[in-house]
Chain A
Amino acid sequence: MKLLKSGRWITLVGFALLAAVYVRALAFTPVERTQGMAQKIFYLHLPAAIWTEGAMILVGVASIFFLFLKDQRIDRFAEATAEVGLVFGMLVLTTGPIWGKPIWGTWWTWDARLTLTLLLFLMYVGYLLLRGAVTDPGLRARYAAVLGICGMCLVPFVHLSVYMFRTLHPQPIVIKPSAPSLPGEMLATLGFSFLVFTVLGVGFVIQRYGLSLLRDEAEPHA
């Protein structure tokens, strides 16, 4: 299938570029003075976090359109994006504690940002479980769309939690109203990494969409 092949190629390009991100982050980006090498986790943690939130917004927007248009393609897109969002969420929830241990002295704390990020991750899990549990395709798509919209409503709270509550997690240093507070070299590495995560995300979503298409073609009534 052409779609799956394209997705695979984009993913392969994404992995080649990810290797370049690793080289750039480790060898050509300065070491931060207070955090040392642990700060370099930032170049993977932040792009994954942006796409964990971004994917849920895409799922929510697609869900709204689905409820109006009832187009199966939109439902497939939401399903594919949710699964990829779950993978990025997994990255955030693993790299975060690994970074937190040397800097905060703890793997995990129940502060607002961390707890809401976990809740967002559980939203993805719930969304995909719901899709697996409902057999009727019409109902499945409609229920999932409602949950997808609820998930999207959670995203602003995740992002703004560091302003709304006293948290251990630092406030945004890139996605904020004022200019990013990062030196140029670090910002360039972060930008490159974000681009690569985008390429990987697009490759994954195309492949996952193709899989749903194959499933729907194999079961025309499903």
Chain B
Amino acid sequence: MPENSSYMIAAYIVVAAVLVGYAILLYRRTLKP
């Protein structure tokens, strides 16, 4: 595995998780405003 890959993978996962999490949060809030 190339050097520093684990940090990069962690950052990419965190970004996806935060953005998808917020999108889900918004969707759930529309169900019960």
Q: Chain A residues in contact with chain B, CB under 8 A?
A: 1, 4, 7-8, 11, 15, 18, 22, 26, 31, 35-38, 40-41, 44-45, 48, 87, 90-91, 94-95, 98-99, 101-102, 200, 204, 207-208, 210-211, 214-215, 218
The answer to whether A95 and B11 touch across the interface, beta carbons within 8 angstroms, is yes
The main secondary structure of chain B at its interface with chain A is helix
Contact residues in B for A40 (Cβ distance below 8 Å):
8, 12
A8 touches B27 (CB 8 A): yes
User: Chain A's nearest CB lies how many Å from the CB of B23?
Assistant: 6
CB contacts (< 8 Å) of A26 on chain B: these are 12
CB pair A210–B30 under 8 Å, yes or no, is yes
Q: How far is the CB of B33 from chain A (nearest CB, A)?
A: 4
B11–A35 touching, CB < 8 Å:
no
Question: Which A residues lie within 8 Å of B26 (CB)?
Answer: 7, 11, 204, 207-208, 211
Q: In the bound complex, do residue B33 and residue A38 qualify as a contact, i.e. CB atoms below 8 Å apart?
A: no
Chain A nearest CB from B31 CB (Å) reads 11
> Interface residues of A: mostly helix, strand, loop or mixed?
helix
Which of A1, A102, A200, A211 is within 8 Å of B29, CB to CB?
A211
A204–B27 Cα distance when bound, in Å, is 10
Give Cα A38–Cα B4 distance, bound, in whole angstroms. 5
Taken together as a complex, chains A and B put the C-alpha atoms of A207 and B29 apart, in Å, by 10
Considering the complex, give the chain A residue whose CB is closest to the CB of B30.
A4
A-B contact pairs, 21 of them (CB 8 A): A15-B19, A22-B16, A36-B3, A36-B5, A38-B3, A40-B8, A40-B12, A41-B7, A41-B8, A44-B15, A48-B15, A90-B18, A91-B14, A91-B18, A102-B7, A204-B22, A207-B26, A208-B26, A214-B30, A214-B33, A218-B33
A15-B19, A98-B14 known, 12 other contacts, Cβ within 8 Å: A11-B23, A36-B5, A40-B12, A41-B8, A41-B12, A94-B18, A98-B10, A98-B11, A99-B7, A101-B7, A102-B7, A211-B30
Q: Across the interface, do B27 and A18 meet the contact criterion of CB distance under 8 Å?
A: no
Q: Is the CB of B15 within 8 A of A38?
A: no
Contact yes or no, A37 B4, CB < 8 A: yes
B20 vs chain A, min Cβ distance (A): 7
Most A CB contacts (10 A, CB to CB) among B5, B19, B20 go to: B19
Among residues of A, the one whose C-beta sits closest to the C-beta of B26 is A207
Q: How far is the CB of B24 from chain A (nearest CB, A)?
A: 11
